[in-house]
Structures are given as structure tokens and as C-alpha cells.
């Protein structure tokens, strides 16, 4: 429910509200499953609105955290679709794509 509402808010350019919803979802999952729960899906998703706001370093930080967590779940050298997706999210935020970084 929270993720669906966030997607609609992002479409209507209310990106900061979307970020708050994703952060709420992350906090709720941590309360339900423990502070050390991986939650790489939410971490990765949080990178996109920050990228839309132009805060590429914050976006990269979330994407890298997601990548690390997926690798801890599936293995450092495993080829897994979520790891590939996380790597590609990182590339979207790379300084080569955004020369002002």
C-alpha cells in the first residue's frame, strides 16, 4: 500500500512526499523485522526520487546500500537479476552521465 501510494505521488511531481512514504515504509519494515533487516528493495527505490531531485550523491548512496544488501543475500559473485538491476541503477547516477558531479 505504501509503495503504491508513493509511485502515484512521484508521477504527480510530489517527489519529497514520495521520499517520506518510502522512508516510512523502511522504518516500518525495520520495526517489524529488526533494525538489521536488509530491505534492499526500498533502499534501491529511495535512490530514484533523490536522482529526480538532482541529489545524485544521495541517490548513489541508496543504490550502493541496496547493492551491498542484495550481495549479502544472494552472494558476492552471484549473477542475480536484483544485483544486475542495482548495478544499473548505480550507473544511472554516475558522474559520467551527470558531468556536474
Task: Say what the pTM is.
Answer: 0.70
Contact yes or no for 80/70 (Cβ under 8 A): yes
Angle formed by the axes of helices 15-33 and 40-52, nearest 10°: 160
Residue bearing the bigger pLDDT, 14 or 3: 14
What is the overall mean pLDDT for the chain? 78
How many whole angstroms separate alpha carbon 2 and alpha carbon 94? Answer: 28
How many whole angstroms separate alpha carbon 79 and alpha carbon 62? Answer: 21
Q: What's the rounded mean pLDDT across residues 34-47?
A: 82
Reported as a single tens digit per residue, the pLDDT across 45-84 is 888 888 888 888 898 888 888 888 888 888 888 887 887 7
Amino acid at each position: 500500500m505504501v509503495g503504491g501510494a508513493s509511485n502515484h505521488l512521484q508521477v504527480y511531481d510530489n517527489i519529497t512526499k514520495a521520499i517520506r512514504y518510502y522512508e516510512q515504509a523502511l522504518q516500518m519494515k525495520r520495526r517489524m523485522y529488526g533494525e538489521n533487516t536488509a530491505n534492499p528493495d526500498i533502499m534501491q527505490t529511495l535512490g530514484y526520487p533523490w536522482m529526480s531531485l538532482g541529489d545524485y550523491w544521495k541517490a548513489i548512496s541508496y543504490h550502493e546500500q541496496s547493492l551491498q544488501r542484495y550481495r549479502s543475500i544472494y552472494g558476492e559473485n552471484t549473477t542475480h537479476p536484483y544485483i544486475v538491476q542495482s548495478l544499473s541503477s548505480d550507473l544511472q547516477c554516475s558522474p559520467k552521465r551527470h558531468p556536474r558531479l
